[in-house]
A = this chain, B = another copy of it.
């Protein structure tokens, strides 16, 4: 039901995803049957694979998470998450309210790791593929263990979602030497190097490595990640606006832009990475499509959810999380002793 465009985009998105997925994959549509059924009627081939689960209420796009929590039981978002909890569905997808989704996911599915909130994940454009960046805003204060957890979650996600067998991982910092940065990143760096995790950790990377694609998965706290992402989006918007202004500024430029139209469109597409993001660290697969998601974006989000649900993602995370517990235990002998 969610997103800026509602069922009119969501149902066609499901239809598009269904064409790509195995015939055995079915869909539960949670929401207002009176709005969903007419949309669904336009896709006869899809109908046998879909079941509408009627709900009278939904979480509004502008509702505050605390408010949504209080009155969320029985909403379409609640029921979609509940279906994952009971095992009826293997993944939940929504284009709805992000804050409410994070709060409800945590309440219904519970965190599988020791992070306060599911980190927000961004796909950063680069020449080939994308760079996975987390956290871009959910957890402002992150200690070293939280950063290591992001590395574990992001690595497993990147493999499952992008089919990269052995994703490389780095921590975002102000330089590449061991002594650079603040205490939290230095300690996370040490744990990742010494913890014998089943992941390819490459050390510190810098801001410009995000577009260079130096590593596949970039770990950072939610404060730095959020500001960096929004600053980069601002720069990209600024540049494309200036380019548009330049290409309409003179008659020769306008003619040139017409001639180069195809190339400029391909250029623009390359700057727009996928707009689906997983909520990681939960007991279950949840994927958030952008609020302004198009049909294609919705289909991409469903494809991502299917990839995650069919992968060994959860087991891989669990194995590395056990190594984190061991690594942190080893490095704090005093704490360990106190517990005996």
* Interface residues, chain A, with chain B CB atoms under 8 Å away: 125-127, 137, 140-141, 172-174, 180-182, 206-212, 220, 222-224, 226-240, 242-243, 245-247, 249-250, 252-253, 255-264, 266-267, 270-271
Contacts and interface: CB of A to CB of B under 8 A. Distances in A.
A260 B271 contact: no
Contact of A235 (B182, B236, B257): B236
A181 B226 CA distance: 11
Given A182-B140, A211-B235, A260-B256, A242 B270 contact: yes
**Most B Cβ at <10 Å: residue of A181, A222, A231, A263:** A231
Contact of A207 (B231, B253, B264): B231
Contacts of A212: 234
B260 A246 contact: yes
**Count of this chain's copies in the oligomeric assembly:** 2
A172 B228 CA distance: 11
Contacts of A126: 238
A240 B257 CA distance: 16
A184 to B, nearest CB: 10
23 contacts: A126-B238, A140-B182, A181-B223, A206-B226, A207-B231, A207-B234, A208-B230, A208-B234, A210-B235, A224-B224, A224-B227, A228-B231, A231-B232, A232-B232, A235-B235, A243-B243, A246-B267, A247-B263, A249-B266, A250-B262, A250-B263, A253-B259, A255-B256
